[in-house]
Amino acid sequence: MQNTVISPELIAESNARHAAALEDDYASLGRKLERQGVAIDAVTDKAKGWAVAVPSWGAGRGGTRFAKFPLAGEPTNIHEKLEDCAVINQLGRTTPGVSPHLPWDCVDDYSALREEAEGYGLHFDAVNSNTFQDQPGQAQTYAAGSLSSTVEATRKQAVEHNIDCIEIGKQIGSQRLTVWVGDGTNLPGQQDLGRSLDRYLDAAADVYAALPEDWLMMLEHKMFEPAFYSSVISDWGSSLMAAQELGDKCKCLVDLGHHAPNVNIEQIVARLHRAGKLGGFHFNDSKYGDDDLDSGSINPHQLFLVFNELAEAEADPRGGFDPAYMIDQSHNVTDPIESMLSSAEAIAGCYVRSQLVDREALRAAQEANDVMLAFRTLRQAYETDVGPILAKARAEQGGAIDWLGTYRASQYRERKAQERKAVGQGAGIV
């Protein structure tokens, strides 16, 4: 018996009020797609089979280094985070996976945690290690780096933490480790740019050696922050170089907010796929840097173009195609449940649009160098309002057609504000 957090009756009542309008919109979109040779129900089935994991840390209010403004009723531990993730999946039906962050989500009993998640119909996705912060009681500081530190004991400690993450991951049913390090420098001359990568690679090889056969290690690059002059794994070039050197079980993770401004991220996706190194994603949106804004809120077209490359990659898998999809956002001013529902819908919407692209027509236009026809072929899919497909997919799986109205009517957050302990104010985390 699955543990439902939001009343199924409330969802059913809300859906009943929206059902007729949805049927009307769905039928109209169905006729439009039929004229293009697309069967809408087949697309809806694809939408139902598609999923993106939510970050456990995204269930709480984020913050900046200036301040954090807590939300009454926000979660303060992994158990409460799981409960909130269950709400997101119950209403949206696209997010059964939860990506944990260690040691933020450490508990005593991981098999009990796994059962707890399964009780909500959830599972654990990639485990994220954390060697970018010092933890209470830790022997070595990461102030001057972790896997790339000049101090051998610090590198060893960082390696051991990553191996601990693998061990915990095995117990909770994960098969992927995501490694992002904040290692880098703040002033020219602070470290040798070549030797710091050598040290990183040596230490990362020790982590790689501890990976089970059926696991993947995903290297997440980031151009800057916390290091403001140079980062050890700063871009997809460094990430690819490292993944190639480490071995077949190591791939690259693309966080949409970790690139230089105006970089062509969709092309990076295509290149990584070509190299057999496309491991996964951290979805979010940005305007200035690693803003961690809600997915699709600033540049939905870019998100669509990324999914278009993913559709191309799936059609031509070369050595394989199995990227891990995760959200990685910081919700500074919204209710995180609402932000993640909105983001999951935006991401799934781009996936669905990518499935509507007439690939044959696109390929023919590309081969004929018909620039405008190629552009319009892509644009036609992007401009299709796929909202009815997403709503239908949700409703048919027990989710909410109007997820925002249903969530607010449930008064979930208000109830949690009564039950949960308040979070203190202060500076946020990354």
Choosing from 290, 309, 335, 338, the residue that interacts with ligand PSV (CB under 6 A) is 290
Cβ atoms of 284 and 328 closer than 8 Å = yes
Dihedral over Cα of 294, 300, 305, 307: its sign: positive
Binding site for Mn ion (CB under 5 A): 255, 282, 290, 328
Q: Rounded distance, CA 32 to CA 303, Å? A: 24
Q: Rounded distance, CA 202 to CA 159, Å? A: 10
Q: 217 touches which of ligand PSV, Mn ion, none (CB within 5 to 8 A by kind)?
A: none
Residues 267-286 that bind ligand PSV (CB under 6 A): 282
Quote the distance between the C-alpha of residue 138 and its chain's center: 29
Number of other residues whose CB lies within 10 A of the CB of residue 137:
5
Choosing from 180, 236, 307, 325, the residue that interacts with ligand PSV (CB under 6 A) is 180
For the window 113-152, what string marks contact with ligand PSV as x by the rule CB under 6 A? ---------------x------------------------
Least Å distance, CB 269 to Mn ion, is 15
Least Å distance, CB 331 to Mn ion, is 14
Of 270, 356, 260, 358, the closest CA to residue 306 belongs to 270
Verify binding: residue 239, ligand PSV, rule CB under 6 A.
no
Residues 374-403 that bind ligand PSV (CB under 6 A): none
Residues 312-331 that bind ligand PSV (CB under 6 A): 328
Least Å distance, CB 328 to ligand PSV, is 5
Least Å distance, CB 182 to ligand PSV, is 7
| Residue whose CB is less far from Mn ion, 279 or 399 | 279
Q: 57 touches which of Mn ion, ligand PSV, none (CB within 5 to 8 A by kind)?
A: ligand PSV
Angstrom CA distances, 373 to 300, 306, 309, 368, stand at 22, 20, 18, 10
Residues 28-67 that bind ligand PSV (CB under 6 A): 57
| Residue whose CB is less far from ligand PSV, 290 or 338 | 290
Least Å distance, CB 133 to ligand PSV, is 9
| Residue whose CB is less far from Mn ion, 253 or 378 | 253
Residues with Cβ within 8 Å of 287's Cβ and at least 6 positions away in sequence, in order, are 293, 298
State the alpha helices, DSSP H only, in 210-357.
Answer: 236-246, 265-274, 300-315, 336-356
Q: 125 touches which of Mn ion, ligand PSV, none (CB within 5 to 8 A by kind)?
A: none
Residues with Cβ within 8 Å of 328's Cβ and at least 6 positions away in sequence, in order, are 55, 58, 255, 257, 282, 283, 284, 292
Residues with Cβ within 8 Å of 314's Cβ and at least 6 positions away in sequence, in order, are 321
Least Å distance, CB 371 to Mn ion, is 35
The DSSP call for residue 45 is H
**Which two structure tokens, joined as six digits, stand for 130?**
């954390």
| Residue whose CB is less far from Mn ion, 291 or 314 | 291
Q: Is 160 helix (H, G, I), strand (E, B) or coil?
A: helix
Least Å distance, CB 7 to ligand PSV, is 32
The residues binding ligand PSV (CB under 6 A) are 57, 128, 180, 220, 222, 255, 282, 290, 328, 430
